[in-house]
Amino acid sequence: MNIELSRKPVDLSSAIAEGDIRVLLMVLVHMTGDEKWLEPPYKPKRDVRLIPDPDAGVPKQIQDEIRAAVLNLFANGTPKPVITDPGDELMLRMMRATLGENVAPEYAPLMREEMGFIPRDARWRKRPADAVLAQQHVLIVGAGVCAIALGVALGRLGIPYTIVEMNDEIGGTWYTCVSTPSSSHRAGMRPGGAGSRRSGPPMARRPSNRPLWSARSASSTTPRRRASRVTRISKA
């Protein structure tokens, strides 16, 4: 059976016509620096559904005005953003306007980092001599995503490292999930954010006396089989 697929050419205007109003509004703030787009009548309505309405509860006439403003940004070629970094205060206002919720202030620096507005990787204040760095060899056990990212960060800092992995392939927990269904079940029970990794300075967190892991939960999420061999994956 022969199947012919027809592809409809997509220009900028038609792409913007299908864009989510919330995203387009934040684009306008970022590119123009005009904060009027965060206020009524442009402000989106709160929508708690998993997949919110892309029209954001904004009247059709206002939607047309928003889309036309975004299209006009490209009237003279590719535009450059007026705001290179919104800072915590404006980022928080943008997040609250987008969601229609009172987003907690501590999310602002996190989102600035996630979106690349501020550097994420650790950097030397004063780089040690190469001879000193050569003596600080780091052993990374397990070639999962975070381990590989850590190796990249260490390499940028000039710190030598070796990654070792007991499995036949790299991938860490996710490779184990594919290989052994029981491990997949255990990995799926990890709390959200437990597998995330930051390479910058620690961010302020709300104090808590509750430990993230108990001895029992840690052992239950660790593969029970012992490594019969260890393979060196990478060395800086």
Cα angle for residues 48, 53, 56 (degrees, 5° grid): 90
Q: What is the tens place of the pLDDT at every residue in 2-36?
A: 545 455 556 899 999 999 999 999 999 999 999 99
Q: What is the pLDDT of residue 110?
A: 93
The stretch 74-97 carries a mean pLDDT of 95
Q: What is the tens place of the pLDDT at every residue in 118-139?
A: 888 888 999 999 999 999 999 9
Place of tokens 């004063």: 126
pTM for the whole thing?
0.58
Do residues 154 and 236 make contact, with C-beta atoms less than 8 angstroms apart? yes
Q: What is the tens place of the pLDDT at every residue in 34-78?
A: 999 999 999 999 999 888 999 999 999 999 999 999 999 999 999
Checking if the pLDDT of 100 tops 90, the result is yes
Q: pLDDT category, 214, cuts 50, 70, 90?
A: very low
DSSP assignment string, 72-113: HTTTTSS---S-S--HHHHHHHHHHHHHTS---TTHHHHHHH
Q: pLDDT category, 180, cuts 50, 70, 90?
A: low
Checking if the pLDDT of 235 tops 90, the result is no
Query: What distance lies between CA 36 and its chain's CA centroid?
Result: 27
- Rounded Cα gap, residues 75 and 51, in angstroms: 32
